[in-house]
Amino acid sequence: MQKNQLGLVKDQTEREQKKLTKRFEKAVSFVHSERTQLLQLQEYEGDYLSKIKQEQSHWTAENTGRYRHFCHQLSQAITSQESKLEQAEKHLELMRGELCQQQQKINVLNDVIARECAANIHIENTLLQKEMDEFSSRQYSRY
């Protein structure tokens, strides 16, 4: 592949990496917000349970049933949030892997381009040396 074509491929790969990076940053933000939401639910549950312990002696059977039902719903919400967070973290890890692969592609392309440039320079130097040798030998043969 010519140097110019490799440069185009590298440019396209870098553009793809930028898009992946933006998506990754959004995913990081999403994971952070999901984690924050989980922590808030857990804190709320803790506060709610401590409040229940303080007021429990004044409850009727009806109040106890409502509180238990609400605690169950809160526990389900926390479990659901934990599941959402776990899925978001898995997705984030997959994206991290994609970014690493993309960076490896760019590194390989940079290496190939550098080797091709070095090979071209070597060929040019060899041709230049050959021309100089021929010129020298022609100059020497005149005398």
Mean pLDDT of 123-136: 88
Residue with the larger pLDDT of the pair 136 and 103:
103
Q: Which two tokens stand for residue 114?
A: 């550098």
Tens-digit pLDDT profile for residues 35-70:
999 999 999 999 988 888 887 777 777 888 888 899
CATH number, domain at 10?
1.10.287.1700
Q: For residue 140, is pLDDT > 70?
A: no
Q: State whether residue 31 is helix, strand or coil.
A: helix
Q: For residue 2, is pLDDT > 70?
A: no
Closest among 17, 24, 23 to 108, alpha carbons compared: 17
Structural domain boundaries enclosing 57:
3-142
Tens-digit pLDDT profile for residues 72-127:
999 999 999 999 999 999 999 999 999 999 999 999 999 999 999 999 899 999 99
Is residue 56 exposed (0-12), middle (13-18) or buried (19+ Cβ within 10 Å)? exposed
Q: For residue 1, is pLDDT > 60?
A: no
Overall domain count for the chain: 1
Q: 59: alpha, beta or left, given left = phi > 0 and alpha = psi -120 to 50?
A: beta
